[in-house]
Amino acid sequence: MITTMSKLSGVMYLSTILLIGMGLLLGCGTPSSPDEQDMSEVRQPVEGEDPEAFWDEFDWKDLTPAEQALWGVLGWDEASWQGEADEPASESKDWSELTDEERSSAGKLGYDETYWDSLP
């Protein structure tokens, strides 16, 4: 015989599963791309500040998830950021050689074509 308590537990379980499923269908999960990230979580160098010097001050773990996602588009990960792996291919590309997504990410991180192309 099913008790009222077990019926209630079953209803609560199904309701929870339904809500999770609806959230996933409606896209209420964790943002997976830089375009979906909250860009208010991306710090910017102040006007006239060297973006390279600005970002060099941070360890990977100090970057926000949105910043890590933007750097990830440029090929960076924790190992390369910390100098434990090779720099990504984007480091040797001119601005015109970057993909649209790479240029967008670089721009959101404070870089522009003039500065990017002046990097060694």
Read off the pLDDT of residues 55-91 as tens digits, 9 standing for 90 and up. 999 999 999 999 999 999 999 999 999 999 999 999 9
Mean pLDDT of the chain: 80
Beta carbons of 110 and 45 less than 8 angstroms apart: yes
pLDDT computed for residue 88 by the predictor: 97
Cβ atoms 73, 34 nearer than 8 A: yes
**Closest to 119 (Cα-Cα) out of 105, 104, 106:** 106
Q: Is pLDDT above 60 for 35?
A: no
| High-pLDDT (> 90) share of the chain, % | 62
With 50 as the cut, is the pLDDT of residue 30 above it?
no
SS3 45: coil
Rounded mean pLDDT, 92-113: 97
Q: What is the separation of C-alpha 94 from the centre of its chain, rounded to a whole number of angstroms?
A: 23
Domain ranges of the chain: 1-29, 34-118
Q: What is the pLDDT of residues 1-11, one digit of tens each?
A: 455 545 545 54
